[in-house]
Each structure stands twice: as C-alpha cells, then as structure tokens.
Amino acid sequence: MMQQTPPIPEIIQAIPLQSYLILSTALFVIGIIGVLTRRNAIVIFMSIELMLNAANLLLIAFSSYKSDASGQVFVFFIMAVAAAEVAVGLAIIVMIYRNTRTIDVGFLNKLKW
C-alpha cells in the first residue's frame, strides 16, 4: 500500500506554508514599490507582472499543500490573461510613444483633474 502512493515532497514537509506567504508578500510589496516609484511605463508594467507572479506563487503553494488541483488551474488561467494583458498594454505603450515621443507617465496628465 505504501509503495503505491508516491511520497510527499520533501519541501512540503520541511517548510511551513507561512514561508511562502511571506515570500509572495515580499514580491508583491516590491511590485507595489515599482509601480509607485518608477516613471517609465514599461518598468511599471513589469512591476505589475511581478505582482501577478506573487499571486501565482501563493496559489500554487496553497494548491500543493492542500493537494487541490483547482489552484493550479487558476494559475494557468492567470497566465493566459496576463499574456493577453501584456499584448494589449504594450500596444498601448507603443501608441503613447508614437504620439508623445516619451513613455514617462508623468507627462500623461490630461485626465488628471
């Protein structure tokens, strides 16, 4: 009976789930810092990708620890949506550059007030 079920991965036995929570919180906070401090639209976009990946890591960690495949299917969908988002977002950035010759988001203040 025992040799039929594969063993539990060592990492799950050794590392508490809290460590993954803290790791993905760190990634998410770094992403927020990037969005708030940088001016380059592409770097802001990359910081958003960083935050998306923090969420992915957390979903996969919970899914592996609770052995529930739904979390990993959601990560698959998040990746697909992120790919679509990047395609449209980069097209918008290219268009902004073409019209204003810059991708500094500080110059895009027509809708500010």
Partner 1 sequence: MSPTLSLFYFLSFLTVLSALMVVFARSPIHSVLYLILTFFCLSGHYILLNAQFLAAVNIIVYAGAIMVLFLFVIMFLNMKKEDEESKTNLTKVAAVIVAGTLGVILVGAFRKSQVGTYNPYAHDSQVGMVESLGHMLFREYLLPFELISILFLVAMTGAIMLGKREVGERHF
Q: Check residue 42 for interaction with partner 1 (CB under 8 A).
A: yes
Q: Check residue 48 for interaction with partner 1 (CB under 8 A).
A: no
As a whole number of angstroms, the distance between CA 78 and CA 72 comes to: 10
Write down the least CB distance from residue 1 to partner 1, Å: 12
- Per DSSP, what are the bridge partners of residue 63? none
Nearer to partner 1, 72 or 112 (CB): 72
Binders in 50-109 for partner 1, by CB under 8 A = 50, 53, 56-57, 60-61, 63-70, 72-73, 75-77, 79-88, 90-95, 97-98, 102-104, 106
Write down the least CB distance from residue 72 to partner 1, Å: 6
Q: For residue 67, what is the DSSP state?
A: T
Coil/strand/helix, residue 104: strand
Write down the least CB distance from residue 13 to partner 1, Å: 8
Determine the residue type at 39. R
Nearer to partner 1, 2 or 113 (CB): 2
Are 17 and 62 a contacting pair, CB within 8 Å? yes
Separation in Å, CA 111 to CA 60, 105, 107: 39, 12, 11
